[in-house]
């Protein structure tokens, strides 16, 4: 039986509305099990939520295109979302061609592969996140400099670190006076729900690493999401300060947002050529 991904996504969004942070993942998994997803895995449900959020945005920003895409499968909605992020001004033509049968899923995949620049926006899953990590070093360095935590002596990416695998991070900044700052990039995820679901998980991970490194910095690609993570870090920090933290140094975890060009440096360079 074909799944009604729109209906499932909207029901999931409704169930997660006003849900406490620590409850979101459990509730999402419970709903995935109720819908008989294999092993109760909510991954496909998260994809459906992201696609539904894109279609809702399209209804407001390009209602005619939205009408042309009414009833498309989940995979098509996801591909359309990626195309829209890349070139919203050209998107009405793509939607029209889809409605009139001149565009297929295969041709859209080929178009994305040939047209999208090398940045993270044109990728999915781990490739998307790794592309973001690789491109974020310069922006993270600027954040660390602005934090005024000490002179940076060296920066080591994950592959250069000698720590045990469980203690490796995206970047280690070695500071003067034998201090270290560990930077962890969060995401980029394709919808706000994924950030909310994982806020507590990231905060706990950061505080765990803060017993190994002097400072841990969580880096997010969105300023509003960063505010949410800062509140979660403050909540966890208060809990620690009432317990073991009083008997030793209080772990230091910071949160910052950065901008990384989604479509790669060659895309932003186009703006430099504008009159």
The residue extents of the domains of the chain are: 5-119, 137-257
How many CB atoms neighbour CB 54 within 10 A?
Answer: 20
Find, among 185, 192, 187, the residue nearest to 24 by Cα. 192
- What pLDDT does 141 receive? 92
Predicted confidence pLDDT, tens digits, the chain (275 residues): 567 888 998 998 888 887 765 577 778 888 888 888 776 677 778 888 888 988 999 999 999 999 999 889 888 898 888 788 777 888 899 999 999 998 888 887 777 666 666 677 767 778 888 888 888 888 899 999 888 898 999 999 988 888 777 778 999 999 988 899 999 999 888 778 888 889 999 999 999 999 889 999 999 988 888 889 999 999 888 887 776 545 556 789 999 988 887 766 544 433 332 22
Q: Could you tell me the pTM of the whole model? A: 0.60
| C-alpha to C-alpha distance for 153 and 110, rounded to whole angstroms | 44
**231 class by beta-carbon count within 10 Å (0-12 exposed, 13-18 middle, 19+ buried):** middle
| C-alpha to C-alpha distance for 47 and 32, rounded to whole angstroms | 12
Class of domain 137-257: alpha beta
- Contact 197/164 with Cβ under 8 angstroms? no
Cis peptide before 43 (omega within 30 of 0): no
- What pLDDT does 202 receive? 94
């Amino acid at each position: 039986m074909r799944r009604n991904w729109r209906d499932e996504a909207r029901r999931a969004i409704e169930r997660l509305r006003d849900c406490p942070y620590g409850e979101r993942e459990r509730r999402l998994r419970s709903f995935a099990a109720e819908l008989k997803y294999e092993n109760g895995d909510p991954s496909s449900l998260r994809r459906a939520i992201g696609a539904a959020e894109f279609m809702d945005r399209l209804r407001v920003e390009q209602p005619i295109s939205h009408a042309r895409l009414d009833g498309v499968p989940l995979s098509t909605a996801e591909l359309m979302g990626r195309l829209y992020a890349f070139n919203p001004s050209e998107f009405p033509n793509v939607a029209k061609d889809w409605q009139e049968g001149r565009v297929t899923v295969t041709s859209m995949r080929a178009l994305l592969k040939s047209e999208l620049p090398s940045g993270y926006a044109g990728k999915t899953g781990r490739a998307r996140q790794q592309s973001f990590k690789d491109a974020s070093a310069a922006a993270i360095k600027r954040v660390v400099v602005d934090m005024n935590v000490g002179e940076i002596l060296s920066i080591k990416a994950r592959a250069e670190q000698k720590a045990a695998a469980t203690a490796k991070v995206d970047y280690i900044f070695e500071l003067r006076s034998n201090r270290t700052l560990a930077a962890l990039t969060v995401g980029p995820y394709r919808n706000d729900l994924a950030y909310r679901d994982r806020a507590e998980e990231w905060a706990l991970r950061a505080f765990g690493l803060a017993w190994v490194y002097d400072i841990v910095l969580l880096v997010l690609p969105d300023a509003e999401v960063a505010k949410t993570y800062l509140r979660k870090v403050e909540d966890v920090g208060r809990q620690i300060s009432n317990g073991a933290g009083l008997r030793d140094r209080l772990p230091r975890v910071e949160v910052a947002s950065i901008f990384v060009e989604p479509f790669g440096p060659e895309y932003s360079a186009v703006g430099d050529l504008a009159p």
